[in-house]
Amino acid sequence: MTTELANDIRNPRPEMRNVILAMLISLYGIVLIRTAWVDDYAYGTFRTIVNFMANQGLVYNPGERVQVFSHPLWLFFLAVIDNYYHDFYYASLGISIVISIAAVIILARWVSVSTISATIGISILVLSRAFVDYSTSGLENPLSHLLVILFLVLYFSKTPTVRRLFFLSLVAALGTLNRLDAILLFLPALIYSFWKIRSKQAIIAVVLGFLPMIIWEAFSLFYYGFPFPNTFYTKLNTGIPVAEMSQQGLFYLYNSINTDPLTMIAIIGGITVALLDRNLCHILIALGIFLYLMYVVGIGGDYMAGRFLTIPLVAAVGIIVNRPMEARAEYFIILGVVAILGLTVPYPTLTSGDNYGAGWQSYVDRWGISDARAEYYQGAGLLSTKRYLDMPNNALVQKGLEIQRSGQTIYETDSIGFTGFYAGRGVHIIDTRGLADPLLARLNPASKVYWTMAEFTRSVPAGYAETISSGKNEIANKDLAEYYDKLSLVVSGRLTDPRRLLEIWKLNFGYYDPLIKAYEDSILLHVSLSDINHPGLSSVPRNANGDIIFPVSGIKIALDQPSHFRHMQITLEDKTAYIIIFSKNGQEIGRQIMEGSYTQNLMAMTIGVPPGAASKGYDHITILPSNPLPNYLLGGIKLLP
């Protein structure tokens, strides 16, 4: 290769640079059109916008102030679009495609240091399944991508001024307003930028920049009664130990490595490049990526494959394209690796078309992580559009239309998106996953040994549906009824009622949490250890004296005194797996799993007590069945040294 040609590759003439970038961006645009789709969850936001435009407030169910959405900026953006174009399906796709292309153009022109770098960056993004999937979808990702890239443009400008700090803070605030957890990615770079100036003017600049976020949080606390989206409280109340949730988060990353390796390798590559180059600006962005990934792991990831990885991917690509690349060999090796990783996976982005997801037997891996685009594309993908059909068109949409035609006013479902939207504003949706329901979000879901992020469904308390229907508190349990009175005043009462403002304070600081705990304790069957058989491991006859039938909610066994025994013989009906929780003074100190073979017989086995529980001493044993069957049989328990 001649020196002139090598120079042309590294730093081509302006007209050649424009041609190269135009070709790559056009390729990205074609891929976007071929893969464009809208996700079920997006229609929960669309329903809120419909209510907002109908002067019902920023609510999912009229009359109940609940923040269902986790992306206020994206919601308002779509609300403005809806004011002019009233088809959410095409409007969300159109604006997502425009924003996504704009983001890639800005990355190529103002973050990349050369055409070579831009070529590699765009190639990574075009071949990343996660990035392409969530460049549309109706969710907030495209706007988050754009804001991360704008932040990088400002941050890499190398001019630490108060003015630049203000705009950095403003973009970070807008990114956080678009998705709250994005603050983790911005934070290290923002703190460093502030520290370099360290003045009263710098403090003012940061405060003014974050004013949109501050105003929204103040509004959210006053209007909804809580500072965070309802989805936050849903994920907060799962009853899943942190270690178990983090393990699921690691499986989420593994799913990406397994099905979309380019995304995770590019993220790791961006962090590695920053560390090897010892570029402080890049290292701080890499630190933000690391913090964000740790957060994703800590919350168990998501049930949508790749959705939470696109923001760190964009930041990592920003690092990669912002470093000089002089060696021709390095360029061709990296581009070759990117091509191999992106084109050899199942269903690469470049060949994706109107048959995506068609005929697939499963969209979900063993850990419950779903290829959401494959799941919904045939009924909500742009290329699956039919001239004679309104879009989207799938079973969930048809169910919503059926509910609307039936005249029902209340409906229980775990699909707050397509079904809830097409059921119409006149139907109150009781969301059994708790995402759109203020009470269910604060209850623990049904216990499961083998759970996934998509299966945190809650049992609707007795009398709750009747309460929604009549407007009077008919909840059967007195503790939960009292809690609902407080919660209802906050989410449905007069905004300026002084009693409401007091209850906002109390609910946010946990004054009424004991009522929830008392309710969840009351639905268990309570017995003492002396009421139960103490069998050996020999065969146990069914219905022997001391056998106890307990409900699906579980059984709680009180010990006469704290026990330090390290083993337990237990006999249970073998029709499910069981979670066995050891507690002391009302606090869980360990749990164990009792597997089953589902023979319907009584199963006797010896299990170990978790070492921490045996060491501290436990005074209660709670047994939770993992399947929603009518009742279960406990044959006996015997504690052993």
Q: Within 10 Å of residue 68's Cβ, how many Cβ atoms? A: 24
Which of 351, 374, 404 corresponds to the end of one domain?
351
Q: Tell me: do 132 and 245 sit in the same domain.
A: yes
pLDDT digits (tens, 9 = 90+) for 233-250: 998 888 888 999 999 999
Instruction: Give the pLDDT confidence score for residue 362 in this predicted structure.
Output: 86
Would you say 72 and 216 are in contact if contact means Cβ atoms under 8 Å apart? yes
Q: Tell me: do 501 and 559 sit in the same domain.
A: no
630 is a domain residue: yes
359 is a domain residue: no
Task: Answer positive or negative: Cα dihedral of 74, 178, 308, 399.
Answer: negative
Reading the block at residue 95, the tokens are 């604006």
516 is a domain residue: yes
| Partner residues linked to 591 by β-bridges | 581
Would you say 38 and 136 are in contact if contact means Cβ atoms under 8 Å apart? yes
Q: Within 10 Å of residue 513's Cβ, how many Cβ atoms? A: 12
Reading the block at residue 34, the tokens are 């071929």
Would you say 125 and 104 are in contact if contact means Cβ atoms under 8 Å apart? yes
Q: Is the pLDDT of residue 494 over 50?
A: yes
Tokens 């393990």 map to which residue?
A: 247
Where residue 603 falls among pLDDT bands split at 50, 70, 90?
A: confident
Residues whose CB is less than 8 angstroms from the CB of residue 595 and which lie 6 or more positions away in sequence, other chains included: 449, 577
Reading the block at residue 543, the tokens are 């219905």
Q: Tell me: do 124 and 183 sit in the same domain.
A: yes
68 is a domain residue: yes
Tokens 């360029």 map to which residue?
A: 331
Q: 365-374, 425-434, 444-453: which has the minimum mean pLDDT?
A: 444-453
Quote the crossing angle between the two packed helices 88-106 and 14-35, to the nearest 10°.
150
The rounded distance, in Å, linking the Cα atoms of 542 and 303 is 41
Instruction: Give the pLDDT confidence score for residue 58 in this predicted structure.
Output: 96
What pTM was computed for the model? 0.93
The rounded distance, in Å, linking the Cα atoms of 629 and 552 is 6
The rounded distance, in Å, linking the Cα atoms of 317 and 107 is 9
> For the domain that residue 605 is a member of, what is the CATH number?
2.60.120.260
568 is a domain residue: yes
Would you say 459 and 436 are in contact if contact means Cβ atoms under 8 Å apart? no
Candidates 575, 557, 567; CA nearest to 625 is 575
Cα pseudo-dihedral 469, 473, 478, 480, rounded to 10 = 70
383 is a domain residue: no
Reading the block at residue 376, the tokens are 């919904």
Q: Tell me: do 510 and 532 sit in the same domain.
A: no
Candidates 380, 373, 425; CA nearest to 403 is 425
Q: Tell me: do 257 and 202 sit in the same domain.
A: yes
Show the domain range for 110: 3-351
Where residue 12 falls among pLDDT bands split at 50, 70, 90?
A: low
Which of 475, 499, 520 corresponds to the end of one domain?
520
Where residue 331 falls among pLDDT bands split at 50, 70, 90?
A: confident
Which of 495, 520, 545 corresponds to the end of one domain?
520
pLDDT digits (tens, 9 = 90+) for 191-231: 999 999 989 999 999 999 999 999 999 999 999 999 999 99
Q: Is the pLDDT of residue 527 over 70?
A: yes
Instruction: Give the pLDDT confidence score for residue 8 in this predicted structure.
Output: 47
Q: Tell me: do 498 and 561 sit in the same domain.
A: no
Reading the block at residue 178, the tokens are 């678009």
pLDDT digits (tens, 9 = 90+) for 64-98: 999 999 999 999 999 999 888 889 999 999 999 99
The rounded distance, in Å, linking the Cα atoms of 181 and 366 is 27
Instruction: Give the pLDDT confidence score for residue 538 in this predicted structure.
Output: 43
Q: Is the pLDDT of residue 125 over 50?
A: yes
DSSP string covering 319-342:
HHHTS----HHHHHHHHHHHHHHH
371 is a domain residue: no
- As a whole number, mean pLDDT of residues 172-180 equals 97
The rounded distance, in Å, linking the Cα atoms of 182 and 292 is 7
In three-state secondary structure terms, 472 is coil
Residues whose CB is less than 8 angstroms from the CB of residue 616 and which lie 6 or more positions away in sequence, other chains included: 584, 589
- As a whole number, mean pLDDT of residues 105-133 equals 95
User: Count of residues for the chain?
Assistant: 641
Q: Tell me: do 160 and 274 sit in the same domain.
A: yes
Would you say 448 and 439 are in contact if contact means Cβ atoms under 8 Å apart? no
Reading the block at residue 475, the tokens are 């909840």
Q: Is the pLDDT of residue 618 over 90?
A: yes
Where residue 510 falls among pLDDT bands split at 50, 70, 90?
A: very high
The rounded distance, in Å, linking the Cα atoms of 152 and 107 is 9
The rounded distance, in Å, linking the Cα atoms of 317 and 149 is 10
Which run of H or E residues covers position 206? helix 200-209
List the beta strands (DSSP E) in 135-230. Answer: none
Q: Within 10 Å of residue 288's Cβ, how many Cβ atoms? A: 24
Q: Tell me: do 617 and 557 sit in the same domain.
A: yes
Long-range contact list for 579-582, CB < 8 A, 24+ apart?
579/447, 579/449, 579/623, 579/624, 579/626, 580/607, 580/621, 580/622, 580/623, 580/624, 581/621, 581/622, 581/623, 581/624, 582/609, 582/610, 582/613, 582/618, 582/620, 582/621
Instruction: Give the pLDDT confidence score for residue 537 in this predicted structure.
Output: 44
Q: Tell me: do 511 and 580 sit in the same domain.
A: no
Domains in the chain, number: 3
Burial 347-361 (b: 16+ CB within 10 A, else e): bbbeebeeebbeeee
Would you say 591 and 242 are in contact if contact means Cβ atoms under 8 Å apart? no
Report CA Rg, the chain: 27
The rounded distance, in Å, linking the Cα atoms of 377 and 363 is 11
Q: Tell me: do 515 and 533 sit in the same domain.
A: no
- As a whole number, mean pLDDT of residues 396-405 equals 96
In three-state secondary structure terms, 62 is coil
Calculate the CA 518 to chain-centre distance.
28
- As a whole number, mean pLDDT of residues 265-292 equals 96
Percent helix, percent strand, percent coil in the chain, to nearest 5: 55, 15, 35
Would you say 52 and 149 are in contact if contact means Cβ atoms under 8 Å apart? no
The rounded distance, in Å, linking the Cα atoms of 8 and 163 is 37
Q: Tell me: do 582 and 508 sit in the same domain.
A: no
358 is a domain residue: no
pLDDT higher at 484 or 19: 484
Q: Tell me: do 475 and 528 sit in the same domain.
A: no
